[in-house]
Structure 1
């Protein structure tokens, strides 16, 4: 490493460290003199008028009892019903403008912007038809902004990152942090836009914001969290830290070189991903902001490293050693966001953000103190917990926390009433949430230790914690809701794949066709060929769909629908045999094995396809535990769908070498693929005598799910892995087939897939059943790699 560059980086760090030391000395003087006590007590006397309600008012509002905040939409509805939603959103958005955007709340411009955001958010929360955060909702927003390709890109990135998080780290938290950082960068970019910006320029800036947000946010799971976790060995951590430090000092990512350690595959992936992210940020940096960006990144990284190497067994850390690094890392993490987007210098923003950071850090460290203590991490709280009886010189971090609050309100934000309101709301809310989480007894023990320096002041604070209302914040509600969604989705997805594996195994066990006793004197090549094809590594999606809907949603008996499950797979397998023939797609492999006509001959393949079609009808006719009229209706419907599938295949063959329109291709895709998915849902519905509206809704879902599935197939044919697919790629181009990719290009095909994904997901909202399985099936359709 160039020694001159290292010296410059260290000099820059020392300058900022000097500023942090001066700030800490100011706080130290205030906390030792206990100036904060009278200041905050007076602030609370004014503040509590808006938060301590008369008992009589509480009596009359009992019918509007506050619900559990874990129920996101119920809580929003309750706030709206009680007339509190606007004030709730106002303090929440005001806080975000202070914390994340570094704004002063007494600015008329900031007040106007807060008002616009509050009005827009209130309208969305009270009128939006979308009842949950979802990929479909995100994509619909992207369509309005013209950034569909960007959202598809970031969805795929988030999925990959989540799958790469090693054991010992929290994949849901990593994903949440990434999303939060991306959202923060978008906020900064939107804040920098003027009202006269053109739609094209807005689209471009939002595209860059998302990619920059991802690029910067990636450092949290793959640098900060990874180095904090017990995933890498000490030697690997040293190698990795040196690599990061070299990058920030030189402005160039060094090659990975020789890596000694068991995590080589993880590090290779991270090195590639972070390298691309770093280059993207660097390319989008303006020349005048690049130096500032690298300096802030170095301060952030080095201050974290200084904190990370501390050992809780060392009883000799000074107050300065405990607090100065957290002033630096907490402020620089937010200062970086502004330099990431190359925003112009703003001294007021820099100062407010610099002084504000430690407030957030102390609040977070308070909440996490026992987890940090268990992990052996050194924070002001864990260190005070361990050494307060031996080290009378140690600052009580809880007292410093209130000192920071007093300093912010009166010295940084100049006694602005709105700032005082929002900051005290946040502080009391943090204590209320902490008390709810750990319980009264544990909370009182914590307070007995940290608030014993002034019992009178503590009584004032705890009185507010017990009695104060209207101090909740939207970002906390959103955070809890997002974590709940991510954890629930992960659990549902794991259950989905586990159940699919189990059901697939059950279906495989019932498919084999027995030899016909009447022809036992001769070898039966048709049955042998049929079983060869059925034994292939098929996904069994169609009978699995039928099993889930029939058994789980309609309450049909498993044994009663076994013939229907067989019939669906027999019919599907027959269609594949015909599809692979030389007269059609002329495929050489299917399901990872040679196609039937390659193993036997074309005649046997054709006869086997016909044989399986008839076996399917035979199976349907043996559904003897259902009313005969119902079974006849099912067979009639099945025959109609088979006829349509044949028409679809004929259309597909006729289209070879022709340029189809998008609508023609969608129709063929529905006939070839969507109709089979429809049958898998409608046939159990027929057996259960479901009403017509439900069947039409399921048909709508199947139509768009089938098209999305076919588009993914087309994409895999040009960019898939042959080993995962079990068949050659590039067959569509070789056969001169019109596909979604050939008509729309890869990017256009992805957009069309996500459009049909959204339409299918929106159709599910009208299905009067538990649609969790269908939701995850649809997610599998668009995210699969084979």
Structure 2
């Protein structure tokens, strides 16, 4: 153990603690003599000129002045632009981020010019036509990264993000974990972009710095759900919490992640996963530093972690905490959480940034705690608000956190930012907006009751304050709108994803039951039918008949019972192709769908005849679709036979390509014929029965092309990286057969990039379909994220 490092880190904590005490004493003095009240009343007198307007007949009837009746992210942005408010809205929002996240002073002309530049860029993006579809989807993030030529890094982050959030235990919010990680990535990128502003960089160096910032943001971001949120969620037992906290503390004090030799508790599997992810993150972050800057990062991280732990260990049932015990950890953790990012990025030391960030942090923390006080109280968490609400009637010495909140605001405006007009405007905008949101959240009566508790000593100020809350306009912020929109979107995506998964399982079971073929009673032993049923009974995904069912029943409104023969036909065709594909003359596979292949159980001749039998059985099933006109059935059979012929050509292309190095175009063509046509048939066969337009048919064909290639690339990746137990077949078959794949042609990273390209193109086509369906969106998402 590095004892000097441990001593230095603990000494740094004590120094920060002393600084926090001095800050707290300064705030306490202003709060006690209420000098902040007169200052803020004067501030509001000038502030309200821009925010409270006397209504007139013209403004009453003006559409521009009225709030939009339709709520939501996009309608609100469009209304702001229509009303001529968008520029000011974005300016105060970006100004706030420059103060909070970048520690800038708004009195600087340089900062103002930069804010104006960012506002123009954001406005241009928001008003683009294609921006209407921004929904924080992985495809939108990938496209953004592609513009900056950092798509490989974004693929890495998106896949890691999916892996991490998949392990978030019940009792924690997956959406909030995703939002925090994405927010921190954005914050680190902001720092990076500001640090290199005005510096001419070669393309490669610019790319490397962006990639580094994205990875640093992700690796630091996962510490929030995997450390802070996990410890707050009460998922671990008390003993496990102690073990875990010790593990984190040891890491920060020594600069090394200790091995996890043993774990006492039922959450061992979860902790093993987290330990692996955090160790990877810690080691990557360490590589970006020299010895001096790494120690600076560890010091800030320790201050943040230890002050969090001090707060976390408090009990709401303990009535004896002093004001210092309540507020000092809040000052420490809120300031350190911002300073960590700068030290993480190895940015140049900036005394002004450190000072402003230290004083500013508690303002944000008190605002957040005010908004969350009732949830925190319900969870038994000790914050200045929950503690005051619990003991204000019995502890007259307790500092009122609402008074402290406004004291901090006054201190920032007058003592830190020297009464700068723009700074005053932004801070007061934010404060009034926070109270407006709280009032809307709690309701009129509960909000009024709460203010009655918090404002007993400040009745005059409160009267003015509540007038601002009631009448002031133009105080909302883009980051709040974005936050609400992001959480809503992520929750909606998660709900729809779960519904998609449940639907897949619910459809698969009845499809499995309808597939077995009745043996010919005239034959003493119907080997071919028996062999066919053996192949059909394997643990297949049934993706193709599921696609056919959903498109037929849910999208084209065909009768469920009437298309049963079509579902059977689709799976018979697919199973036949697998039987042929597994033959010794072709892939010579020994396992399929988790058990021995057909030719291994019977023999090659039986397998060949069974494959032929199933292709004919598929046509026979289509001929029994009695609810449709004969001309439509003939069209369907004509399409099916052509599709089957094309799939045979694709398989032959595959066999002839062995030992050859194919071009990407040749591989795409082969893949479409071999795999894509099967997906196309699943989509087009119900479309033919429904008589959809040629335009829709063309869009479905293009979707199937890109989705099919994405599916095949994932197969190629799984063949290299997958496990036989999960795949249900032997991995490494492509290498054994000397087959050209997307991995052999493009490499692992190149294959992943190509898969994401086709994934995004497939999603773009979904948006063009006249009838929107999330099924096709989640289908291609499933294709690239599956494990078998």
In the superposition, the TM-score normalised over structure 2's length comes to 0.98
**Equivalent position SS for 1:556:** coil
Q: 1:163 aligns with which of 166, 184, 190?
A: 166
Specify the alignment match of 1:768 in structure 2. 770
- Structure 1 residue 3: deviation in Å? 5.3
Whole-angstrom distance in 2 between the partners of 1:452 and 1:689: 72
Specify the alignment match of 1:562 in structure 2. 564
- Structure 1 residue 110: deviation in Å? 1.0
Specify the alignment match of 1:35 in structure 2. 35
Specify the alignment match of 2:541 in structure 1. 539
- Structure 1 residue 677: deviation in Å? 0.8
What does residue range 616-695 of structure 1 map to in structure 2 within 5 Å? 616-695=618-697
**Which ranges of 4 or more aligned residues in structure 1 deviate by more than 6 Å?**
none
Specify the alignment match of 1:274 in structure 2. 278
Structure 1 residues 84-121: Cα deviation after superposition (integer angstroms, max 9, x where no partner) = 11111111111001100101111111111111111111
Structure 1 residues 384-410: Cα deviation after superposition (integer angstroms, max 9, x where no partner) = 101111111111110110111111111
- Structure 1 residue 182: deviation in Å? 1.1
Whole-angstrom distance in 2 between the partners of 1:370 and 1:68: 29
Contact 2:311 2:329 in 1 (8 A): yes
- Structure 1 residue 5: deviation in Å? 4.2
Specify the alignment match of 1:472 in structure 2. 476
Whole-angstrom distance in 1 between the partners of 2:269 and 2:59: 60
Whole-angstrom distance in 1 between the partners of 2:102 and 2:768: 40
Specify the alignment match of 1:241 in structure 2. 245
What does residue range 83-102 of structure 1 map to in structure 2 within 5 Å? 83-102=84-103
Matched, 1:172 2:175: yes
Structure-2 change in CA distance of 1:68 and 1:482 (3 Å): farther
Whole-angstrom distance in 2 between the partners of 1:726 and 1:159: 23
Whole-angstrom distance in 1 between the partners of 2:192 and 2:176: 24
Matched, 1:431 2:441: no
Contact 1:13 1:295 in 2 (8 A): yes
Contact 1:527 1:608 in 2 (8 A): yes
Specify the alignment match of 1:373 in structure 2. 377
Q: 1:225 aligns with which of 200, 206, 229?
A: 229
- Structure 1 residue 128: deviation in Å? 4.2
**Equivalent position SS for 1:117:** helix
- Structure 1 residue 75: deviation in Å? 1.0
Structure-2 change in CA distance of 1:174 and 1:70 (3 Å): farther
Structure 1 residues 252-302: Cα deviation after superposition (integer angstroms, max 9, x where no partner) = 111112211111111111111111111111110134422221111111111
**Equivalent position SS for 2:377:** helix
What does residue range 180-219 of structure 1 map to in structure 2 within 5 Å? 180-195=183-198, 196-219=200-223
Q: 2:146 aligns with which of 143, 147, 152?
A: 143
Contact 1:70 1:481 in 2 (8 A): no
Whole-angstrom distance in 1 between the partners of 2:69 and 2:302: 42
- Structure 1 residue 14: deviation in Å? 1.1
Matched, 1:581 2:578: no
Whole-angstrom distance in 1 between the partners of 2:316 and 2:157: 39
Whole-angstrom distance in 2 between the partners of 1:685 and 1:65: 46
**Equivalent position SS for 1:499:** helix
Specify the alignment match of 1:22 in structure 2. 22
Matched, 1:108 2:129: no
Structure 1 residues 363-421: Cα deviation after superposition (integer angstroms, max 9, x where no partner) = 01111111111111111101110111111111111011011111111111111111111
Contact 2:766 2:772 in 1 (8 A): no
Contact 1:69 1:477 in 2 (8 A): no
Specify the alignment match of 1:784 in structure 2. 786
Contact 1:579 1:585 in 2 (8 A): yes
Moved more, 719-728 or 78-87: 78-87
- Structure 1 residue 228: deviation in Å? 1.3
Contact 1:286 1:342 in 2 (8 A): no
- Structure 1 residue 709: deviation in Å? 0.3
Whole-angstrom distance in 2 between the partners of 1:69 and 1:445: 30
Whole-angstrom distance in 1 between the partners of 2:181 and 2:496: 22
Contact 1:428 1:471 in 2 (8 A): yes
Structure 1 residues 663-693: Cα deviation after superposition (integer angstroms, max 9, x where no partner) = 0000010111111111111111111111111
Whole-angstrom distance in 2 between the partners of 1:24 and 1:14: 15
- Structure 1 residue 83: deviation in Å? 1.2
Specify the alignment match of 1:78 in structure 2. 79
- Structure 1 residue 4: deviation in Å? 4.9
Specify the alignment match of 2:413 in structure 1. 409
Whole-angstrom distance in 2 between the partners of 1:708 and 1:205: 30
- Structure 1 residue 64: deviation in Å? 5.7
Q: 1:710 aligns with which of 709, 712, 716?
A: 712
**Equivalent position SS for 2:130:** coil
Contact 2:388 2:398 in 1 (8 A): yes
**Equivalent position SS for 2:522:** helix
Specify the alignment match of 1:45 in structure 2. 45
Structure 1 residues 462-517: Cα deviation after superposition (integer angstroms, max 9, x where no partner) = 11111111111111111111111111111111111111001011111111111123
Whole-angstrom distance in 1 between the partners of 2:174 and 2:665: 40
Specify the alignment match of 1:758 in structure 2. 760
Whole-angstrom distance in 1 between the partners of 2:28 and 2:580: 81
- Structure 1 residue 8: deviation in Å? 2.9
Whole-angstrom distance in 2 between the partners of 1:350 and 1:8: 19
Contact 1:70 1:477 in 2 (8 A): no
- Structure 1 residue 42: deviation in Å? 1.2
**Equivalent position SS for 1:732:** helix
Whole-angstrom distance in 1 between the partners of 2:252 and 2:619: 68
Whole-angstrom distance in 1 between the partners of 2:441 and 2:675: 50
- Structure 1 residue 19: deviation in Å? 0.6
In structure 1, stretches of 5+ residues that fail to align are: none
Specify the alignment match of 2:356 in structure 1. 352
Contact 1:331 1:358 in 2 (8 A): yes
Q: 2:597 aligns with which of 589, 595, 598?
A: 595
Matched, 1:451 2:455: yes
Whole-angstrom distance in 2 between the partners of 1:394 and 1:727: 67
- Structure 1 residue 160: deviation in Å? 1.0
Matched, 1:302 2:302: no
Whole-angstrom distance in 1 between the partners of 2:645 and 2:302: 67
Contact 2:589 2:597 in 1 (8 A): yes
Moved more, 544-553 or 284-293: 284-293
Structure 1 residues 325-350: Cα deviation after superposition (integer angstroms, max 9, x where no partner) = 10000000100000000000000000
In the superposition, the TM-score normalised over structure 1's length comes to 0.98
Contact 2:742 2:751 in 1 (8 A): yes
Matched, 1:518 2:518: no
Q: 2:423 aligns with which of 416, 419, 430?
A: 419
Whole-angstrom distance in 1 between the partners of 2:479 and 2:289: 30
Contact 1:181 1:213 in 2 (8 A): yes
- Structure 1 residue 518: deviation in Å? 2.9
**How many aligned positions are there?**
784
Structure-2 change in CA distance of 1:70 and 1:280 (3 Å): farther
- Structure 1 residue 7: deviation in Å? 3.4
Contact 1:553 1:770 in 2 (8 A): no
**Equivalent position SS for 1:129:** helix
In structure 2, stretches of 5+ residues that fail to align are: none
Moved more, 351-360 or 138-147: 138-147
